[in-house]
Amino acid sequence: MSRSELRRLCVGAALLILTAASLIALGAVKKSFPGQFAAERWQSEENRYAQLSCFIDTHEECSESTIKSLESSINKQMASEAMDLSWTFCYSGDSTLSVSRGSTTVSARAICTGGDFFLFNPPKMVSGWYYRDDSINGDGVVLDIQLAWKLFGGYDLEGMTVTIGGHSCPVTGVAYPPENSIEKKLYGDTPTIYVPYSLLSVIEQAAPAVTNFEAVLPNPVTNFAMGMLEKSVSFSENGRELKQNTDRMGLIPGLKMLAEFGTRNQKTTAVYYPYWENAARAGESWCTLLAALAALFAIFPLVLAFIYLAKLIGLLKALAIKQKNKIIG
C-alpha cells in the first residue's frame, strides 16, 4: 500500500469517526426533549399515533368551551372513519397568580392546564406527583422549586397547602425546572405554579385564553392525524399554527430543514409559543446543524468506500476470468 493510499484511509477513518460522533450528538439532542415523545408514551403495539400541537393567537379568545367543541369534532371524525381507538389531549395558557402561605405572598407565573397536560409536558419531580385534571375538587397544584423555596423553604410538601384567591389548595408535588439546557434557559428563574383551569373558576379568577392545544391521535398513514386536526380547528389561518411533534428531530428531518435555511424563523402568524416549543425549535436547529455535519463528514468515506468496492469488484472479475481461462486452457 502506497503512502498516499494510507493517508487517504486515515483521513477516511477520521471522518467516519466524526460522522459517528455527529450522529450520537444528534441522538442525544433528540432524546433531551421528553415533551416531544408523548405519542411514544401513549402508543400501543397495534396502532401508530402522532403527537400534534396547535398554537393559538390570544385574539382568537380560545376558551375551555372552544376546546370541548374541538374535542367533539375530532371524536366525530374518528367515528366517521370507524376508528374505535383511544386518543388524548391537553391545553394550556399562561397567567400570573398571587400565591400565599401564611404572611408570605409571591407573584408567580401560572401555567394553567387542562386535559392530560403532564403526559405531554412531564417535569421531573422533587417530591409528590402531578395533580389529575379529573380529580373531584380540581384544586391541586404543583409548585416548582423556586416557588416552593420562597414559600416553604423546602421541597417535601406532602400535606401542605397554599392559598390562592382566598382558597386553600393542596400541593400535590414539587417540580424541578427543565433539565434540558435550552429549555432551562427559556424557562428562566421565575417562580412557577401549575394549576388546573378548574381551579380558576373556584377562586373566581378570570381564566387566560388557551394558547396551546396538544393531542396524540391515531396516525395509521402519514399525515392522517394532521388531516383530522386541520379539519377540526376553527381558528383563522393567521390565528393558529399547527405542528407535528412526532419525528420532528433526527437525521432526515434535520436534512429536510436545510431547505428552510434563512426562512424558517420568519413568522406569518401572531401565535404565542410556550417555552417548551421555543426550546424544541432551538433543538431542531441543532439537529439540522448536526445532520449537515454528519452528511458532510460522510461524503469522503463513502466515496472512498465506493472506490475500493469498485477495485474489489474489478479484482474479483479479473480472478474469475483468470480461473476460467485456466480451466479452458
Convert the pLDDT of each residue in 222-251 to its tens digit: 899 999 999 999 898 889 999 999 988 888
Question: CA triplet 20, 26, 27: central angle to 5 degrees?
Answer: 90
Q: pTM for this one?
A: 0.85
Interstrand relation of 125-128 and 192-196 (parallel, antiparallel or unpaired): unpaired
- Which residue type sits at 144? D
* pLDDT score at 158: 82
Q: Select from 178, 207, 206, 213 the least CA-distant residue to 192.
A: 178
Q: Select from 48, 30, 31 the least CA-distant residue to 39.
A: 48
How far is Cα 122 from Cα 36, in angstroms, rounded to an integer? 10
Question: CA triplet 194, 116, 40: central angle to 5 degrees?
Answer: 120
How far is Cα 19 from Cα 292, in angstroms, rounded to an integer? 10
Per-residue pLDDT tens for 126-176? 999 999 876 656 778 999 999 999 999 999 998 899 999 889 999 999 999
Find out whether 288 and 257 touch, Cβ atoms under 8 Å: yes
Interstrand relation of 192-196 and 104-115 (parallel, antiparallel or unpaired): parallel
39, containing H or E segment: helix 38-42
- Per-residue confidence band for 45, with pLDDT thresholds at 50, 70 and 90: confident
* Mean pLDDT across 39-55: 89
* pLDDT score at 202: 82
For residues 318 and 62, the model is more confident at 62
The residue written with cell numbers 427559556 in the block is 186
* Mean pLDDT across 38-48: 85
Cell of 151: 414559600
Kindly report which listed range (7-11, 31-35, 142-146, 184-188) carries the lowest average pLDDT score: 7-11
* pLDDT score at 136: 57
How far is Cα 45 from Cα 258, in angstroms, rounded to an integer? 33
The mean pLDDT value of the chain amounts to 88
Kindly report which listed range (37-46, 61-70, 133-142, 146-155) carries the lowest average pLDDT score: 133-142
Q: Select from 124, 92, 122, 94 the least CA-distant residue to 109.
A: 94
Residue 179 main-chain phi, psi, to 5 deg:
-80, -35
Cell of 328: 479452458
* pLDDT score at 279: 92
- Which residue type sits at 235? F
Residue 55 has pLDDT above 60, yes or no: yes
Residue 266 has pLDDT above 60, yes or no: no
- Per-residue confidence band for 96, with pLDDT thresholds at 50, 70 and 90: very high
58, containing H or E segment: none
* pLDDT score at 163: 94
* Mean pLDDT across 82-91: 90
Percent of the chain with pLDDT over 90: 59
For the chain, how far is it from start to end, CA to CA, in angstroms? 33
Find out whether 235 and 60 touch, Cβ atoms under 8 Å: yes
220, containing H or E segment: none
* Mean pLDDT across 295-321: 83
* pLDDT score at 135: 61
Residue 204 has pLDDT above 80, yes or no: no
For residues 233 and 269, the model is more confident at 233
> Strand runs (DSSP E) across the chain, as ranges?
49-56, 88-101, 104-115, 125-128, 141-144, 161-164, 167-175, 192-196, 212-218, 240-244
Residue 227 main-chain phi, psi, to 5 deg:
-60, -40
How far is Cα 130 from Cα 315, in angstroms, rounded to an integer? 66
* pLDDT score at 178: 92
- Other beta carbons within 10 Å of 220: 13
